């Protein structure tokens, strides 16, 4: 009986109240996805100012990819602060395209949010890789800002269902 009461109490406290403001959460989710899509646009335009507009200046980026010289060994991890990531965009000759391949999952608690989504990445119309984007955001005056971006780099058919698809326009 005691376990049933604990379960019931947890259900009552963890279930949103009827009439709760779900519109605010839906609006935040839409805004968060839009901010990450603006980051994708910045990668495509290669304009550092576009990247800076959606990122916190103290943020970090981190990628996890197989070691080409030791594919069965530990992954390579590359980190950069946002300033170096912005610099790396400037002046690349080939066009880049990154996009979500399914609806990302967004979690929000107060002024902190996390987005987890599958993506693919194209260079000059050719498939490069796919993976998972894991993005931390914070709500500041002026809206949501990206604090950290982590991603995997994957290339196999099993990992990348859009690999064989037509090049996106």
Q: Would residue 143 count as lying in a domain?
A: yes
Q: Would residue 114 count as lying in a domain?
A: yes
Q: Would residue 83 count as lying in a domain?
A: yes
Q: Please tell me the predicted confidence (pLDDT) of residue 167.
A: 67
Residues 6 or more apart whose Cβ sits within 8 Å of residue 167? 122, 125, 126, 127
Q: What's the distance, Cα to Cα, between the start and end of the chain in Å?
A: 60
- Full domain range(s) for residue 38: 22-152
For the four alpha carbons of 131, 132, 133 and 134, in that order, the dihedral sign comes to: negative
Q: Give φ, ψ of 15 to 5 degrees.
A: -85, 130
Q: Give per-residue pLDDT as tens, 75-109.
A: 999 888 776 665 565 566 678 899 999 999 999 99
Q: Would residue 137 count as lying in a domain?
A: yes
Q: Give average pLDDT by consecutive 10-residue segment, the chain, 169 residues.
A: 37 37 77 95 85 90 90 88 64 80 95 96 90 96 93 88 72
Q: Would residue 160 count as lying in a domain?
A: no
- Separation of alpha carbons 131 and 13, rounded Å: 36
* Length of the chain (residues): 169
Q: Would residue 166 count as lying in a domain?
A: no
Q: Give per-residue pLDDT as tens, 18-32.
A: 334 445 789 999 999
Residues 6 or more apart whose Cβ sits within 8 Å of residue 48? 42, 86, 87, 89, 90
Please name the residue ranges forming H helices in 64-133. Answer: 82-89
Q: Would residue 147 count as lying in a domain?
A: yes
Residue with tokens 């519109």: 23
The CATH number given to whatever domain includes residue 63 is: 3.10.450.50
Q: Would residue 99 count as lying in a domain?
A: yes
Q: Please tell me the predicted confidence (pLDDT) of residue 1.
A: 43
Total tally of structural domains belonging to the chain: 1
Q: Please tell me the predicted confidence (pLDDT) of residue 88.
A: 63
């Amino acid at each position: 009986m005691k376990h049933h009461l604990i379960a019931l109490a947890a259900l009552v406290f963890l279930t949103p109240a009827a009439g709760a403001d779900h519109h605010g959460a839906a609006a935040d989710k839409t805004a968060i996805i839009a901010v990450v899509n603006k980051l994708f646009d910045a990668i495509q335009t290669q304009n550092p100012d576009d990247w800076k507009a959606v990122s916190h200046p103290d943020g970090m980026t981190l990628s996890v990819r197989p070691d080409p010289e030791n594919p069965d060994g530990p992954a390579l991890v590359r980190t950069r602060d946002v300033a170096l990531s912005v610099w790396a965009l400037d002046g690349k000759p080939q066009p880049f395209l990154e996009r979500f391949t399914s609806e990302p999952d967004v979690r929000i608690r107060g002024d902190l949010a996390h987005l987890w989504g599958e993506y693919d990445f194209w260079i000059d119309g050719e498939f490069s890789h796919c993976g998972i984007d894991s993005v931390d955001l914070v709500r500041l005056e002026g809206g949501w800002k990206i604090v950290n971006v982590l991603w995997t780099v994957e290339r196999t058919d099993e990992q990348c269902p859009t690999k064989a698809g037509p090049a996106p326009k």
